[in-house]
Homo-oligomer: A and B are copies of this chain.
Amino acid sequence: MNAEIIAVGSELLLGQIVNSNARFLSLHLAELGINVFYHTVVGDNPIRLTTAIEIAESRSDLIIFTGGLGPTKDDLTKETIAKHIGTELASDQKALLSIEEYFKKTNREMTENNRKQALVLKDSLVLPNDHGMAPGMVVRSSEHIYMLLPGPPKEMEPMYLVYGQKALARLTETNEIIVSRVLRFFGIGEATLETVIEDLIDAQSNPTIAPLAADGEVTLRLTARHSNQDIALKLLDETEAQIQSRVGEYLYGYNNSSLIQELVKGLKDKKLTISAAESLTGGKFQQEFTSIPGTSALLKGGVVCYTNEVKQKLLNVKTETIESYGVVSSECARELAENVALLTNSDIGISFTGVAGPDELEGKPAGTVYIGISIKGKGTFAEKLTLGGTREAIRTRSVKYGCYYLIKQLKESQNL
């Protein structure tokens, strides 16, 4: 089955927003084994939209539309499709009720225009909108499947995942359930990971294995299909176990998790408090940590010690340490981690000191980074990193490595 995604909206053609919907749908259609051969963007214009539909019908089996389901007179996707395929629009009772509820909940006045949003293509399968008003719909002609989805990603994405994907599986008569799982790795490069599991990737069919690298992390998306959900999940488990047996030590989390989230979880489980002394990262570790709600019981705070003056005055780094080893050193990292924990009375202290660049520092090149970790009752140590990339990439990766080392410590230490 070949698919085409048609995004309807003049705001896309004016460059006001980027077509992230096409990306999202492409990624998930690939999981269903559906080939996407074209993306098209067309404005809110019935003649041009009709032409785009005709072209799509000539080359694709499944046509997914995003956008143009809103209440204003610019929104004409379903009207144009109805006219084109020779059907009518009818009010959907469930959708109308849900719109009325939405207005009641948000205490706003409902207008006649909003009633228009409950109109759907006659005999279509209606996809409920759990995050907005316009329902989606799927309708089938003798040769094509048309799926209409709303434009805002926060409405479109959950609608597709919860209702759209199932409808497609049913309509394409596969009757298969699709389950996927993303394995998240850190500390291993994409090329190395792919080499280690090359035979699994080459032999993949069900589950499929799709690697993706971004921001110093590598993910593997496993997608299994089966008419029985339990068997589909078992297929995922088996493939994951094979992967784990080879690169399990680098696996840190699943799906939408992140290193900082895993660290927060680990600290919460063990009821440990933490504080940070940040030089080159300038507060990035603490900022990311506190971006997660409810972390005030874990992170006491810390010091951004951007200058040597603050390292010495607030964090008591010894003059002889700086004179003998410099601030970009294992010795300084250890003192910073130990002292920030003492100062704030935390169980763990972590420190980041190094050269973010672009210029070198103390004769050490950009990308030289030391991470200090001090754990109450376990001692203090430091790790050295040699990172490449821009200033921002070096800072970002430093924070990720810091989280990664801590997560490993928490896992390995039974008695923490």
- For the complex, what is the distance from the CA of A309 to the CA of B286, rounded to whole Å? 16
- For the complex, what is the distance from the CA of A395 to the CA of B290, rounded to whole Å? 10
Question: Interface residues of A, CB < 8 Å — how many?
Answer: 73
A391 touches B (CB below 8 Å): yes
- For the complex, what is the distance from the CA of A52 to the CA of B24, rounded to whole Å? 22
Question: What 1/0 mask marks residues of chain A from 250 to 291 whose CB sits below 8 Å from any chain B CB?
Answer: 000000000000000000000000011010111111110111
Q: CB-CB < 8 A to A281: which residues of B? A: 287
A242 touches B (CB below 8 Å): no
Question: What 1/0 mask marks residues of chain A from 395 to 406 whose CB sits below 8 Å from any chain B CB?
Answer: 100000000000
**Stretch binding the partner chain, chosen from A33-41, A84-92, A196-204:** A33-41
Q: CB-CB < 8 A to A296: which residues of B? A: 306-307
Q: CB-CB < 8 A to A283: which residues of B? A: 278, 282-287, 290, 302, 304
**Stretch binding the partner chain, chosen from A7-15, A96-104, A126-134, A160-168:** A7-15
- For the complex, what is the distance from the CA of A179 to the CA of B15, rounded to whole Å? 18
Question: What 1/0 mask marks residues of chain A from 14 to 52 whose CB sits below 8 Å from any chain B CB?
Answer: 111111101111111110000011111111000010011
* The residue from B14, B290, B304 contacting A302, defined by CB atoms under 8 A apart: B304
Report the nearest B residue to A399, measured CB to CB.
B287
- For the complex, what is the distance from the CA of A5 to the CA of B75, rounded to whole Å? 23
A233 touches B (CB below 8 Å): no
- For the complex, what is the distance from the CA of A349 to the CA of B170, rounded to whole Å? 62
18 more CB-based (< 8 A) A-B contacts, given A283-B304, A300-B310:
A7-B39, A15-B25, A15-B27, A16-B212, A18-B19, A19-B22, A19-B23, A38-B41, A38-B52, A40-B40, A40-B41, A276-B304, A282-B289, A282-B291, A283-B284, A295-B306, A296-B307, A301-B303
